Structure 1
């Protein structure tokens, strides 16, 4: 979504915080942090600029929420999936599905982090990187069980390459319907992680 998109419809009070996080993520991805104002965020979310401060004490606090809350959600989902689904392939496919769905719904926090890392305090920056590492480890543990032929380094390279592919979804407009994009990316992710070279 570009900055020329029309303002969103007003959302119920209970979902206001998530709507602010969503639109702030889009704006922090589109523009430099200093170029985004609370008025711009509020306008796109359908609230006044001052109303934003009822949910976040500062623009920087909102940026941290944009980064941290999606990472916490992805990690919690991955851990829940691994606990509930004993089949490693089914667990990995479920985690891929969830990550793809999140990337279609919201700008991935990793993209926002890479663009705005210098605006995040050091302590929070280390926390974000730790969350990313823990999430990647959940994937790598499953890939290790499914692809014992891979070295640890190869496992990490593949996992992070798939993350980059999934997270790139919002960066271009393919013209495809969201469900078609999701199917294409899911298939590519499974093939990249689980199909050994020379078998296709």
Structure 2
């Protein structure tokens, strides 16, 4: 709810009353849980990043088949993106409102998350350089994260299936199609 508002409007344009209205509480009630609107923004950004990173680490550690692990990471990321606005999009729009130390910490979490994916892609695509792997990984993140902003008219299940297929193909099929 708050993430959607921080994505739709500038941070300064979002009021605690607006956030409270979306959450079904009064604006001042938010201060029982967060000391400031900025602290709420940090939580909106940090909680999903923590979940994505924890899930990716768990999958990488417990799924021995790199393709299955990558497919599970893609599935989780796509599912999360279809459920709510990706925190990376909210971060990009609002990073100037995040204190520098928090901003660096969040960027580090994003890098660690990308490294989990890149490690799997490297195992599956030894033909790629590290730079190519990073480019592909980030391009797939951008594709997945852009889905909530696009109204295709398709049901979420169809969108998810389409994006999952596109993501795995983008990462695993060589440019020459072989």
Taking structure 2 as the reference length, what is the TM-score of the superposition? 0.98
Give, in whole Å, the separation in 1 of the partners of 2:35 and 2:83. Answer: 25
What is the match of residue 14 of structure 2? 36
Large movers: runs of 4+ above 4 Å? none
Query: Pick from 52, 61, 64: which aligns with 2:39?
Result: 61
Per-residue CA deviation, residues 159-191 of structure 1 (Å, 9 max, x unaligned), is 000000000011121111000000000000000
Pairs within 5 Å for 1:1-200: 23-199=1-177
Q: Which has the higher helix share?
A: 2
Give, in whole Å, the separation in 1 of the partners of 2:150 and 2:134. Answer: 26
Give, in whole Å, the separation in 1 of the partners of 2:94 and 2:5. Answer: 11
Structure 2 residue matching 1:53: 3-state secondary structure: helix
What is the match of residue 19 of structure 1? none
Taking structure 1 as the reference length, what is the TM-score of the superposition? 0.88
Per-residue CA deviation, residues 82-101 of structure 1 (Å, 9 max, x unaligned), is 11100000000000000000
> 1:51 offset after TM fit, Å?
1.1
Per-residue CA deviation, residues 127-183 of structure 1 (Å, 9 max, x unaligned), is 000000000000000000000000111000000000000000111211110000000
Give, in whole Å, the separation in 1 of the partners of 2:53 and 2:153. Answer: 30
Give, in whole Å, the separation in 2 of the partners of 1:193 and 1:50. Answer: 46
Structure 2 residue matching 1:111: 3-state secondary structure: helix
